[in-house]
Amino acid sequence: MPPNVPLTILSNTDSQESPPVAINVPYEDLVVCFATGTLIETDNGPVPVNDLLVGDRVLTVDNEFQEIHWIGSRQLDRATLERNPNLCPVRIRANALGPGLPDIDLIVSPQHRILVTSEISRRMFGTKEVLVAAKHLLAVNGIDTLTDLDSVTYWHFLLNAHQIVIANGVATESLYTGPQALKSIDPAGVREILSIFPELTDASYVAVPARRLVGGRHARRLAARSAVNRRPLAVAQIL
């Protein structure tokens, strides 16, 4: 197992005076993240993800504006990326998902899920909208892995629940508090999150995804079919 990556946790709204806490996260469990510079739609318009603060309000597809309760970030240098190519970010070029989607290149971690909206999805899964990790969309023209970076800084934020947010014009996810996501966070970080959402400790708690999560070969097949048939993978959200 490679060494851990430092993750900075920013204080929640109930402890604004507390200093940030530095914790470690295993490489293989890297939480889904946005790269520095990604523009997130907020009640003040598009804001770079690296400029967001706890307490800011992010536009969501389903529930209007929702407050940020937690922010995490981590930087990976060239040596780390070369040793662990599975951590290299995925670039979704402008218009790769459909006209104007994204409106400028979107760079995310491989596990970050994009909202796919298509008739192919409906035929395959019985629902038009599904969430698919960026790494499973590489069959689509204009989506590739960036392997020659000096470094990348990943960011993510936690809302009141799993939500669909808008990044560079594309519908994508906020942090999902499913079991794999929580396993990726050091105990100190988990305590930080549980201080905000104590219900996560309830044995009966089940994280509810904002849309159906599709992974593995099914997700890759969806991407391949969309590429072959030259069908867009997303539509512009009317909010």
Tens-digit pLDDT profile for residues 158-216: 999 999 999 999 999 998 877 666 665 656 667 777 777 777 777 777 788 999 999 89
Residue 79: give the domain boundaries: 5-111+140-205
Using the predicted structure, report yes or no on whether residue 28 has a pLDDT greater than 50.
no
Whether residue 21 lies inside any domain: the answer is yes
Using the predicted structure, report yes or no on whether residue 91 has a pLDDT greater than 70.
yes
Q: How far apart are CA 77 and CA 99, in angstroms?
A: 33
Q: What's the pLDDT score for residue 226?
A: 94
Q: What's the pLDDT score for residue 200?
A: 73
The pTM for the full model equals 0.84
Q: Two tokens at 88?
A: 């290299």
Whether residue 29 lies inside any domain: the answer is yes
Total domains present in the chain: 1
Tens-digit pLDDT profile for residues 127-167: 999 999 999 999 999 999 999 999 999 998 999 999 999 99
Whether residue 230 lies inside any domain: the answer is no
Whether residue 116 lies inside any domain: the answer is no
Whether residue 219 lies inside any domain: the answer is no
Whether residue 196 lies inside any domain: the answer is yes
Whether residue 11 lies inside any domain: the answer is yes
Supply angle C-alpha 57, 61, 65, rounded to 5: 20
Q: For residue 40, which of 192, 175, 207 has the smallest C-alpha distance?
A: 175
Query: CA torsion sign, 178 to 62 to 174 to 161?
Result: negative
What SS3 state is found at 69? coil
Q: What is the DSSP letter of 64?
A: S
Q: What's the pLDDT score for residue 205?
A: 74
| Under 8 Å between Cβ of 101 and 87 | no
Whether residue 169 lies inside any domain: the answer is yes
